[in-house]
């Protein structure tokens, strides 16, 4: 294929003709070797950049600052990227200095060279179509990069919400299926009062519904873009009508109601929207991890634990202990959630670090945010399909725990008072007797009263006694 010469103000480089990126991308390849994750590992981010660049080209065409041939060539090249072509040409590390300039130029160079070939020219013949003068016309990294993060985040949050809805549906199925299975409730890992297994799964479902609502609301903040802000929000080198037209074009391309930010100067330096989204993701991760760990504890055993449920057996659990099976799905979901929680700290610190009119640490925000959305989506689906869907209940073990529990003495309080109930609990723990039998022996209650008090309908619902 040979090589071509490209230059920037630092100097001239030989670029292989088999690549579509150019000199500025090559500089970034030499400089940034941190995460080992390239832009190509985040295809939805590349797609978002192509959607932004297409909208910009068509807007510049409409306001009359870019001729139709160039604008259409750029738009068609973007369409090919949106369709998934040339993904391997996005080679820059996700973690980079320069506020995302290397990512923006990687996109500009690839789009330009794809367009040049379609126009009948060779890669690098920038006198016909230039990465900065034409593909980046009326733009800056400082508006295209954060806007592309938001476009990509909106799309991935939509995928996450679908995964969350799927998990909620599976939890609802179990809540209905197990509504009549009585089990012991626990507080601080100690016996509390009875509940049902259906109540447990219904509570889990309520967690997810609450997080669906929070993330849906947070996703809306991703629709306010600063396209047209250019360098710091003043719109320098941008046509006055461009910002309104580009939002219209982007809506046509994506089908999403993206809107101009209220204050472009504020929007260009402020990354709090990403902190807001990350906070909602962290909340969902905390709840999901709690749920996964509860399932793990309820599954514990099979002989010496709680044994209230049976999680699906996914793989052998030990290289030395035959027959051991571990709750690997619940465990891996917890690990995924911890990454989301850690990413939230990274996003918060990167956002706080932005000085004056620009936040130079947006690549760290993008990296953390995309990883959080991606891994949380997979965690939701994994728990739904590999744990919740196929788990089974052990009604006998659940009931046995209730009947053997000292905690049910709480139901006696309205009839015999706290002090008598506490005394019965103490004796039951010491002797192993059932609390009902002790109450009868002491003449505090009759057998009929004990049976009525310990009836599930009285223990599972608001009840003050007689």
Q: Identify whether the C-beta of residue 180 lies closer than 8 Å to the C-beta of residue 245.
A: no
- The helix/strand/coil state of 224 is strand
- Rounded CA gap, 230 and 232, in Å? 6
- Rounded CA gap, 127 and 176, in Å? 68
- Rounded CA gap, 235 and 238, in Å? 5
Q: How many other β-carbons are positioned within 10 Å of the β-carbon of residue 240? A: 9
Q: Which residues are catalytic?
A: 318
Q: Identify whether the C-beta of residue 213 lies closer than 8 Å to the C-beta of residue 128.
A: no
- State the Rg of the chain over Cα: 30
DSSP 8-class letter at 13: E
**Tokens matching residue 345:** 């700290």
| Residues in a beta bridge with 8 | 11
Q: Identify whether the C-beta of residue 111 lies closer than 8 Å to the C-beta of residue 135.
A: yes
Going by C-alpha positions, the residue among 357, 377, 381, 437 that lies closest to residue 157 is 377
Q: Identify whether the C-beta of residue 17 lies closer than 8 Å to the C-beta of residue 4.
A: yes
Q: Identify whether the C-beta of residue 122 lies closer than 8 Å to the C-beta of residue 116.
A: yes
Q: Tell me the DSSP string of 110-137.
A: HHHHHHHHHTT--TT-TTTS-IIIIITT
- Rounded CA gap, 142 and 100, in Å? 8
Element (H, E) at 185: strand 182-187
Q: Identify whether the C-beta of residue 105 lies closer than 8 Å to the C-beta of residue 25.
A: yes
Residues in contact with 361: Cβ distance below 8 Å, sequence separation at least 6, in sequence order: 99, 350, 351, 353, 354
Q: Identify whether the C-beta of residue 102 lies closer than 8 Å to the C-beta of residue 32.
A: yes
Q: Tell me the DSSP string of 318-369.
A: -SSSTT-B--HHHHHHHHHHHHHHHHHHHHHHHHHT-BTTB-TTHHHHHHHH
């Amino acid at each position: 294929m040979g090589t071509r010469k490209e230059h920037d103000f630092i100097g001239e480089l030989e670029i292989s003709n088999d690549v579509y990126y150019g000199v500025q991308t090559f500089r970034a390849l030499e400089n940034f070797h941190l995460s080992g994750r390239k832009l190509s590992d985040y295809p939805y981010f590349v797609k978002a950049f192509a959607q932004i660049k297409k909208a910009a080209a068509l807007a510049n065409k409409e306001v009359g600052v870019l001729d139709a041939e160039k604008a259409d060539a750029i738009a068609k090249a973007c369409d090919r990227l949106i369709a998934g072509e040339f993904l391997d040409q996005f080679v820059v590390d996700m973690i980079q200095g320069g506020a995302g300039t290397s990512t923006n130029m990687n996109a500009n160079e690839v789009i330009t060279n794809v367009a040049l070939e379609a126009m009948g020219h060779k890669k690098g013949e920038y006198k016909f179509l230039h990465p900065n003068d034409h593909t980046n016309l009326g733009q800056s990294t400082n508006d295209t990069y954060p806007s592309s993060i938001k476009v990509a985040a909106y799309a991935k949050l939509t995928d996450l919400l679908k995964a969350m809805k799927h998990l909620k549906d599976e939890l609802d199925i179990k809540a209905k299926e197990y509504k009549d299975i009585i089990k012991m409730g626990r507080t601080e890992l100690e016996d509390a009062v009875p509940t049902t297994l259906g109540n447990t799964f219904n509570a889990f479902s309520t967690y997810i519904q609450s997080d669906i609502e929070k993330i849906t609301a947070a996703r809306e903040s991703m629709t306010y873009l600063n396209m047209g802000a250019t360098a710091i929000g003043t719109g320098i080198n941008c046509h006055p009508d461009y910002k309104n037209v580009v939002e219209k074009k982007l809506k046509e391309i994506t089908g999403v109601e993206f809107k101009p930010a209220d204050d472009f100067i504020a929007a260009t330096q402020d990354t709090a929207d990403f902190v807001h989204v990350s906070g909602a993701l962290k909340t969902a991760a905390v709840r999901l991890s709690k749920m996964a760990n509860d399932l793990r504890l309820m599954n514990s055993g099979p002989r010496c634990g709680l044994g209230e449920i049976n999680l699906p057996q996914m793989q052998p659990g030990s290289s030395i202990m035959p027959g051991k099976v571990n709750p690997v799905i619940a465990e891996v979901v917890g690990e995924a959630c911890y990454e989301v929680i850690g990413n939230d700290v990274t996003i918060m610190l990167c956002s706080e670090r932005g000085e004056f009119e620009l936040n130079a640490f947006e690549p760290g925000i993008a990296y953390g945010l995309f990883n959080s959305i991606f891994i949380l989506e997979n965690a939701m689906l994994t728990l739904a399909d590999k744990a919740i869907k196929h788990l089974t209940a052990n009604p006998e073990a659940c009931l046995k725990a209730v009947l053997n529990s000292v905690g049910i003495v709480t139901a006696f309080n309205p009839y015999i008072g706290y002090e008598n109930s506490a005394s019965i609990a103490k004796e039951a723990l010491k002797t192993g007797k059932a609390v009902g039998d002790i109450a009868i022996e002491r003449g505090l209650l009759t057998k009929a009263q004990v049976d009525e008090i310990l009836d599930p309908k009285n223990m599972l619902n608001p009840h003050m006694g007689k």
